[in-house]
Amino acid sequence: MKRPDALTLWERLYLPQIVGGLVVVIYRFWRNFILHILHVVGIARSVRAAVTVQYPDEHKRYPDNFRGSHRLTLKEDGSVRCTSCFLCATACPAHCIFIEAGEHPDPSVEKFPLRYEIDTLRCIYCGMCVEACPCDAIRMDTYVHPKIWGYKRADFIETKEVLIHRSKVLGERGRDALMQDLLKDYKELEEGKVPFQRS
């Protein structure tokens, strides 16, 4: 017995779908191709040549609840808030946080991180470290995604200095500053202004 949802012979040929798909692709190709040429000579620049975001020249603004790269927050005196309690490293399911605790010169502060590193090749950006921290010392509200270029594992390790630097940039230049810096780095690499080190 024939199934009620079985395709007819005409439907199984898929001809209307194939022709329809080709019409869309060919129309889009020529429309965008001609518009790009017109834009180069300064004509019809108000008409978009493509609906996709032209990353990295353009980028979408990340939403306020975007869970981005990490940062270590700072106290009012500029020192790091982290007390090296290891709770974030213990909670991390990817085991990608490495902390070396040191004695703080100030006797009222028990410990501070001599070394605090996140291996972004292992991190799954789950946010467990942020949840686990009892003193709001680590956050993922940088509105910047992880760096995605590098040839050595070390290129993907975010050090204490990097994590602190993010907090400073965020505080001084606002929420879009880190993304602007990242895109500038991409651009300079693409244009060959900064040599890509293979070692």
Among 9-17, 27-35, 86-94, 168-176, the segment contacting ligand SF4 (CB under 6 A): 86-94
Question: Which lies closer to ligand SF4 via its Cβ, residue 85 or residue 144?
Answer: 85
Are 86 and 99 in contact by the 8 Å Cβ rule? The answer is yes
Structure tokens at 93: 């399911």
Nearest approach, Cβ of 198 to ligand SF4 (angstroms)? Answer: 27
Instruction: Please pick, from the candidates 68, 69, 97, 170, the single residue that binds ligand SF4 as defined by CB under 6 A.
Output: 97
Nearest approach, Cβ of 42 to ligand SF4 (angstroms)? Answer: 47
CA distances from 168 to 13, 158, 161 (A): 62, 15, 10
Q: Which residues between 112 and 141 bind ligand SF4 (CB under 6 A)?
A: 118, 123-129, 132-133, 135, 137-138
- Contact between 94 and ligand SF4 (CB under 6 A)? yes
- Contact between 96 and ligand SF4 (CB under 6 A)? yes
- Contact between 146 and ligand SF4 (CB under 6 A)? no
- Contact between 182 and ligand SF4 (CB under 6 A)? no
Rounded distance, CA 174 to CA 121, Å?
A: 27
Q: State the DSSP H helix or E strand holding residue 167, giving kind and residue range, or none if neither.
A: helix 160-173
Dihedral sign, Cα of residue 125, residue 131, residue 132, residue 137 = positive
Question: Terminus-to-terminus CA distance in the chain, angstroms?
Answer: 67
- Contact between 144 and ligand SF4 (CB under 6 A)? no
Q: Smallest Cα–Cα separation from 116: which of 170, 166, 157?
A: 157
Q: Binding residues for ligand SF4, per CB under 6 A? A: 82-88, 91-94, 96-97, 99, 118, 123-129, 132-133, 135, 137-138
